[in-house]
Amino acid sequence: MSVLKVGEDLKSTPKTTPSTPSLIDPFNRHVTYVRISVTDRCDFRCVYCMAENMSFLPKKELLSLEELDRLCSSFVELGVKKLRITGGEPLVRKNILTLFKSLSRHLDSGALEEITVTTNGSQLAKYADELYATGVRRINVSLDTLDNDKFQAITRWGRLPQVLDGIKAAQKAGLKIKINTVALKNFNEDEIPKMMHWAHENGMDYTLIETMPLGDIDGDRTDQYLPLDQVKQSLEQSYTLTPNSFKTGGPARYVDVKETGGQLGFITPLTHNFCESCNRVRVTCTGEMFMCLGQEDNADLRTPMRQSECNEPLIQTIREAIDRKPKGHDFIIERKGAAPAVPRHMSMTGG
């Protein structure tokens, strides 16, 4: 099998044989959204996501940029309308803009509706203009505090001013930003109203996320877990929250905040799972497709790509895996010292 080298034309990927452009799971949910991790590496070590001394994968195990393009293009052919590029931190992947530039052809053709990115913001000052030029119009920035000391504590290696500068650069470039905050007990729960005001005053949506039991993080997640129904009840004492029907394709449920004029989202995999409308799958940086974030069943997509230049084996593997997509996940956090519900880290699976 011939393998293209970085810098060659990624658009010359193998053609697939004709097939019905749709992916429908056993519960009649159309899978139109794929989150693809391009690296397990990150320049932060957030305490709910990673251990501080992580062992990262050898390069040969990662999908190449050419393989990532081939995989994304196959999903587009199967009716996927939205791709989210994640990590780790996707923008630390060498030559990653080559992939964005190549995938933009699917935006130009109308086959793909959107390419989005989840980032910690550390590289945005460098890449925001280029991301916009490739057709990216919307990004999520993970940010859990606006306090310098707390930011250092939660990220271990991060610098808040670098992230804030990146956010400004992204806005200047024309990118629409949603701030994602993991709600953590005894850490940032008192800061949530302040962060919501800051986001809304700067024209950004704001979404809260419950910590998820993924991977060994050198700590006990029961010490971190903050139920978002509790947060919502607290906010309702000071704010008027009105549910709306806004959807981005992801799992967040949104409300309008009358007092700020902005929008607030809740992602609640533990208190209120969002499985009934799940339209997505996740692919790791090694080519494993997980049909559910909270289940271990997966499909190896790397092997059929590397064994054949024809995409039909890859397409068949994807279809067979979608036929196994479960009704929902089984996340639970309730016992001190219990092992994570899923052993793989979020940085490997992709946000």
DSSP 321-342: HHTT--S-------STTPPPSB
pLDDT of residue 129: 98
Q: Is 3 part of any domain? A: no
Distances (CA, A) of 144 to 181, 190, 267, 319: 5, 12, 14, 37
Q: How many domains does the chain have?
A: 1
Instruction: Say if 189 falls within a structural domain.
Output: yes
Q: For residue 267, which amino acid is it?
A: I
Regions of the chain with pLDDT less than 70: 1-21, 212-222, 249, 269-274, 329-351
d(CA 66, CA 77): 16
State whether residue 170 is helix, strand or coil: helix
Bridge partners of residue 264, in order along the sequence: 206, 255
Q: Where residue 212 sits, what CATH number does that domain have?
A: 3.20.20.70
Establish if 9 belongs to a structural domain: no
How far apart are the C-alpha atoms of 313 and 126, rounded to whole Å?
38
Residue 280 has what DSSP assignment?
E
Closest CA relative to residue 296, chosen from 229, 330, 342: 342
Are the beta carbons of 293 and 212 closer than 8 angstroms? yes
Handedness of CA 254, 234, 141, 56 (dihedral sign): negative
Q: What gap in Å lies between CA 87 and CA 178, rounded to an integer?
A: 17
Q: Does 24 fall in a domain?
A: no
Residue 21 falls inside a structural domain = no
| 15 is a domain residue | no
pLDDT of residue 327: 84
Per the structure, the complete domain to which residue 73 belongs is given by 33-349
Residue-wise pLDDT for 69-109, tens only, equals 999 999 999 999 999 999 999 999 999 999 999 999 999 99
**pLDDT at site 296:** 82
Query: What is the model's pLDDT at position 262?
Result: 97
Measure the CA–CA gap between 254 and 252, rounded to whole angstroms: 6
Q: What are phi and psi of 84, to 5 degrees?
A: -115, 125
d(CA 204, CA 235): 18
Work out the burial of residue 28: count CB atoms within 10 Å of its CB; fewer than 13 is exposed, 13-18 middle, 19 or more buried. exposed
- Say if 154 falls within a structural domain: yes
Residue 39 in contact with residue 90, Cβ under 8 Å? yes
Is 5 within the bounds of a domain? no
What local confidence, expressed as pLDDT, does residue 1 receive? 39
Q: What are phi and psi of 166, to 5 degrees?
A: -65, -40
Q: Could you tell me if 306 and 296 are in contact, meaning their C-beta atoms sit under 8 angstroms apart?
A: no
User: Whose CA is closest to 150, among 47, 231, 267, 43?
Assistant: 47
